Chains A and B, each alone.
Chain A
Amino acid sequence: NAGVMQNPRHLVRRRGQEARLRCSPMKGHSHVYWYRQLPEEGLKFMVYLQKENIIDESGMPKERFSAEFPKEGPSILRIQQVVRGDSAAYFCASSPPSDNEQFFGPGTRLTVL
């Protein structure tokens, strides 16, 4: 049973470019969560999605960041016009509908030059 998958594992962007991070949840999991871990800081919640619905986006920056979890395909975290401060590890987690134990993917390390 494959775990949570994220790609790419490493992403380098120049300031002003767009970053797209993908997450495929574990089989049987329909809830997806995105977290960000800045260097030397803790994990911070960004957004909670179910298929075709954003349930809680209270941790998302108001501008440049968006997330979706379409009916088909992976969840996408999109960062427009990246800035150096966006450099971080972005983790996706998933859980089944009946439980709130969250299992994390390997993460995407974003570096903004």
Chain B
Amino acid sequence: QKEVEQNSGPLSVPEGAIASLNCTYSDRGSQSFFWYRQYSGKSPELIMSIYSNGDKEDGRFTAQLNKASQYVSLLIRDSQPSDSATYLCAVNAGGTSYGKLTFGQGTILTVHP
């Protein structure tokens, strides 16, 4: 079982729709959760961090965390073509692995006009 799993996609949504990206993780003791966006040929860009169960909103982005289900998601409202990218879920286990982020394989999102 992979430590962090994401659907690779591609996920295709029309402009203006809600894009829903999902991620599950295997280490129940994981402490911190992050979503990064990576355009082709570029470096990952931090979009959201979430540490507690529930929702966290920032502009058009909402991160949702459910530690009991070991599940974290990212919703993008009013999707734009510029949101087309690979979205990476990253998990920090904490403890002796404090500095280490474990990444999923990424979900490719395409927003079509």
Contacts and interface: CB of A to CB of B under 8 A. Distances in A.
A28 interface: no
Contact of B103 (A43, A48, A56): A43
Interface in A71-112: 91, 100-107
Contacts of B43: 91, 104-107
Nearest to B106: A42
B79 interface: no
A100 B104 contact: no
A45 B100 contact: yes
B85 interface: no
B84 interface: no
A45 B4 CA distance: 13
B100 A104 contact: no
Nearest to B92: A100
A58 B95 CA distance: 14
Interface residues of A, number: 22
Given A42-B105, A101-B34, A59 B44 contact: no
A104 B99 contact: no
B49 interface: yes
Contacts of B36: 104
A36 B43 CA distance: 11
B49 A101 contact: yes
A55 interface: yes
Given A105-B43, A107-B43, A43 B100 contact: no
Interface in A20-77: 31, 33, 35, 41-45, 48, 55-56, 58-59
Given A43-B88, A100-B32, A100-B92, A91 B44 contact: yes
Interface of A: 31, 33, 35, 41-45, 48, 55-56, 58-59, 91, 100-107
